[in-house]
Structure 1
């Protein structure tokens, strides 16, 4: 399955030239250097684990959902020349005494935007950080200063392949549908640097209701090669519990 996706990359890269490459629900613009993904707004309020999930994923804790296959989105990012790394995982280390070690997330940076058309026909494009704010304490919620997610740049972690008892290996993002994560799952396609708990009490982010279109609104995710990550080292040190 994954090899078929890589074959698609090779074929598209050979034949596309400067023409857009279309996959189901996805368009790759090699000239504009971006990937556009058909999406739907999931929520108007609540805490978030994800920026984007698949249509069968955690839509109750995600900003938007997409119908496109995660493997195809992975392929689209490869077509832009981006290199995947890995999500945060535990890695087995061999030697005289076999052990496990933490492997931090890695991958090329990808900037994530949300775009849609207003009723007037005006096209709007905004970084996803405009729609995500830090969870505020209940007692001081109204008076607390609104603090937005400090970055709209994520790492192209690339999810993971896992063995099956029989048959081809499974691409985890296709199965779990965690696409662009705020919390750490270990199988996501794009992630923040560092490791972040997904326990309900530790969730850091919620929806900025002032800016986001209504639930069920058809919008587009737009992904571009990024320049860097905006989180401070202190913010990226919160470890998964």
Structure 2
């Protein structure tokens, strides 16, 4: 991933050029029969990378009690590869997916739905569901890492997709997927304040420069000068309290080893 430029790169290869799709990309060894690209990385690592560069996940889509599309940060997905002549190619991933009815390329973005974790009772451990195949989906799944923000699946024939064969290079062509979170047009005030309060790389807190007064950072006029009486003892310094002698005298009258009554 590139933390400065905010994108994640996922290596993989073309695994399908013809056929109906439920995914655009899946981890290798899962659902290559219905995905255009199989990736070398499990989905959970890609998920972690997106979080590290500021993307927000979820919620995943739901069907019950009513349909709600997936949410999360919009993610631009691009494919980079070299053709037979060694020329570097780069296209939007949507160009490799088409509507079955119209033959046109996919025109919806993907959102970072985030998938979900389930408990494997036998192994007594949690597992990330998108590792099972649903990395970048074109049919809706509650387990999708990236999903379309519209209803898509067997119940909606208008949104059934297939591989856009003419646009896809030969099988087993190595590719890189570049995932870039789309930056929001507006940043809310809480995010601005969080950015202000964030510690700098050396661990110190950034000063609120925007609210500083014109003389902020300048020493006070008398800074560094001692006060007029600095170093002089206080007038009564060293003198015992008025009743100190009396107390000592009374104490001296007491026999050693006895206490006063």
| TM-score (normalizing by structure 1) | 0.69
Matched, 1:209 2:174: no
Query: Which is bigger in relative contact order (C-alpha 8 A, separation at least 6)?
Result: 1
RMSD over aligned Cα atoms: 2.3
- Cα distance change of structure 1 residues 192 and 201 upon mapping to structure 2, 3 Å threshold: closer
Residue 105 of structure 2 corresponds to residue 148 of structure 1: yes
Give the one of 169, 181, 187 matched to 2:126.
169
Counterparts in 2 of 1:134 and 1:101: CA distance versus 1, 3 Å? closer
- Other-structure match for 1:117: 82
CA contact (8 A) 2:95 2:105 kept: yes
Q: Give CA deviations for 1:173-199 in whole Å, capped at 9, x if unaligned.
A: 12x221000001210100000222247
**Aligned position for 1:17:** none
Superposition deviation, residue 118 in structure 1? 2.4
In 2, Cα distance between equivalents of 1:200 and 1:191: 15
Given that residues 184 and 196 in structure 1 are in contact (C-alpha distance below 8 angstroms), is that contact kept between their aligned partners in structure 2? yes
Distance 1:146 1:102 in 2: 27
* Aligned counterpart for 1:67 among listed residues 29, 40, 46: 40
Matched-pair contact (CA < 8 Å) for 1:47–1:203: no
Q: Which residue of structure 2 aligns with residue 107 of structure 1?
A: 72
Is residue 134 of structure 2 the alignment partner of residue 178 of structure 1? Answer: yes
Contact 1:89 1:102 in 2 (8 A): yes
Query: 1:14-163, aligned counterparts within 5 Å?
Result: 28-89=1-62, 100=65, 102-136=67-101, 146-151=103-108, 153-163=109-119
TM-score relative to the length of structure 2: 0.64
- Relative to structure 2, which stretch is displaced further, 44-53 or 100-109? 100-109
Q: Rate the CA distance shift 1:44–1:73 in 2: closer, same or farther, 3 A.
A: same
Contact 1:184 1:198 in 2 (8 A): no
Q: What's the offset of the Cα at 1:161?
A: 1.3
Paired residues of 1:162 and 1:172 also in contact (CA < 8 A):
yes
Structure with larger Rg: 2
1:224 pairs, out of 167, 180, 205, with 180
Mapped contact 2:141–2:147 kept (Cα < 8 A): no
Check the 8 A contact 2:20/2:34 in 1, yes or no. yes
Using the alignment, how far apart are the partners of 1:200 and 1:43 within structure 2? Answer: 23
Question: Do the aligned partners of 1:53 and 1:177 also contact (CA within 8 Å) in 2?
Answer: yes
Q: What is the alpha-carbon distance in structure 1 between the residues aligned to residue 75 and residue 160 of structure 2? A: 21
Whether the 8 Å contact between 1:49 and 1:198 is mirrored in structure 2 is no
Query: How far 1:39 moved relative to its partner?
Result: 1.0
Q: Secondary structure at the match of 1:210?
A: helix
**Deviation (angstroms), 1:90:** 5.2
Instruction: Please give the alpha-carbon distance, in whole angstroms, between the structure 2 residues aligned to 1:163 and 1:103.
Output: 24
